[in-house]
Structure 1
């Protein structure tokens, strides 16, 4: 059993599907199936059962997957430790970021950071903040850029905060919103709850949803064409969008959305995390 087998097992456990796993690992399905059979032969066990609803791991299979996860972590920690011993700042920096932050903010941050530290390779995963935090807890990533209020017991640095707005191409009045076309987009549960709470506290009738799209960028393009209004954090707005905005308020106060840099305290033992921490603070002109 080797590193490729560890990866195979962990991806298969995540996907629970032979076809998807083979595609993700750039393997043919016969090659993947053959390797599974070889592992079963090596350990004299049955790793999994196949059914109409996908793959089910046996208790022995679950045990082997846990072993594979431990070995992957041990190997990563070894690479990190060896890179940390070098006089040159180098290594693989594994980051996670919420989708909006990754789209609107992170490219410029990474550009500046890599210019300063060209020997650092960056691996990035994006998604919902809740999923990224799970990866941070499991230490499959070193640090995370997260949006919104999150529960985290480790180090947590507030790096940015912006207002939330009603966004439209043409000027509109707040009291007219229930009668206008509302364009919704898929977002994380925390932000959705913020939007829902704001609406309930400001209006007695439901919004007239005319469109539901998967991404905020798609939503913004629809708004720019005058097809309706939407609710957005200001991180997604640029001057060249030429959109009108109304502040979203609850009890007279503007609603804000925060961006955070999260990591476990012990990660600061790694030079590249210390350097990232310092760079981000300078980038956002933070004290301390």
Structure 2
């Protein structure tokens, strides 16, 4: 059944004859008779009794006409809502975001974005960047650190220099605990390579935590040293001993990327969020 079939039933009910309905909808009488036959076969009931003067509704026909009127009313309501929504950015925005970005930057970003686009509904998943990359097809937009998402369009949000931080002078004779944290394998390799080549640094691996922020808080309380990105170094950390991670006099950094599939950007809520994020000053 098409919406036009329900509209035809209402026209037949209102005009009471096939002839009058044909004049109203500009369709031939045989064509209307054939469509009515199809509709009655679809419901497997007789909807109208054909009398010499007019069409008379059967009991089943009364139910079907009420259903047709309600359906057409709902159809008009949907059209009105769609017309009203034109020019209004709305819909669901699905985001997969690195834990570090979600902790330190995303709340402010989403607060500002939803203030401008209140009709947009936010779906958010946060986690390790590697997990977000693996599930990238589930999101409209991904914000990840390290490497961008393959087969996606991407733009760099910011570059994050890395530092080894401690409460005690770095490179002394004392063997210090090294506080490890959960992160992607690519970043672990970067740190491992730097530690392996750093001479005069004596560490022991005795603490492993869930994320950067936990490692930072343990480090600040003198429980060991850890590697932290510049973006989460608070004023207290900057006053503590810290050493830039360098390779051949080149500062090692952690890149942050905004990633999405180009076709997805045609959605207004995605396009506005991408432009909003790209125009933000992150550090």
Give TM class, smaller chain: 0.5 to 0.7
Match of 1:118 in 2: 118
Q: Take 1:131 and 1:100, find their aligned partners in 2: how far apart are those partners?
A: 13
| Structure 2 counterpart of 1:266 | 263
The equivalent of 1:105 in structure 2 is: 105
Change (3 A) 1:178 1:197: farther
State whether residues 162 and 235 of structure 1, in contact with CA within 8 Å, keep that contact through their aligned partners in structure 2: yes
Cα deviation, 1:7-38, whole Å, max 9, x if unaligned, reads: xxxxxxxxxxxxxxxxxxxxxxxxxxxxxxxx
Deviation (angstroms), 1:151: 4.9
**In the alignment, is residue 146 of structure 1 matched against residue 144 of structure 2?**
yes
User: Deviations for 1:155-182, whole angstroms, at most 9, x for unmatched residues?
Assistant: 1010111100011224x13x33872222
Name the residue aligned to 2:242: 245
Structure 1 distance, partners of 2:149, 2:94, is 21
Per the TM alignment, residue 216 of structure 1 is displaced from its structure 2 partner at its CA by 1.9
Worse overlay, 260-269 or 103-112? 103-112
Which residue number in structure 1 is paired with residue 157 of structure 2?
A: 159
Q: Which residue is equivalent to 2:195?
A: 199
Using the alignment, how far apart are the partners of 1:240 and 1:120 within structure 2?
38
Contact 1:177 1:207 in 2 (8 A): no
How many angstroms apart in 2 are the aligned matches of 1:146 and 1:177?
38
Calculate the TM-score normalised by the size of structure 1. 0.64
Aligned pairs (5 A) from 1:68-147? 86-136=86-136, 138=137, 140-147=138-145
Give the structure with higher Rg (CA): 2
Indicate the RMSD between aligned Cα atoms, in angstroms: 2.5
Distance 2:173 2:263 in 1: 48
Which residue of structure 1 aligns with residue 254 of structure 2?
Answer: 257
Please give the alpha-carbon distance, in whole angstroms, between the structure 2 residues aligned to 1:262 and 1:142. Answer: 9
Q: Quote the Cα distance in structure 1 between the aligned partners of 2:221 and 2:134.
A: 38
Call closer, same or farther: CA 1:243–1:122 in 2, change over 3 Å: farther
- Residues in 2 aligned to 1:228 and 1:259: alpha-carbon distance in whole angstroms: 27
1:223 corresponds in structure 2 to: 219
Q: Is the 8 A contact 1:166 1:232 kept in 2?
A: yes
SS of the aligned residue for 1:283 comes to coil
Please tell me whether the aligned partners of residues 157 and 261 of structure 1 are also in contact (alpha carbons under 8 angstroms): yes
SS at match of 2:277: helix
Match of 2:185 in 1: 189
- Matching residue of 2:207: 211
1:96 alignment partner, SS class: strand
The aligned residue for residue 278 of structure 1 is 275
Q: For residue 68 of structure 1, what is the aligned residue in structure 2? A: none
How many equivalent pairs are there?
201
**Distance between the aligned counterparts of 2:185 and 2:195, measured in 1?**
15
Structure-2 separation of matches of 1:210 and 1:217: 17
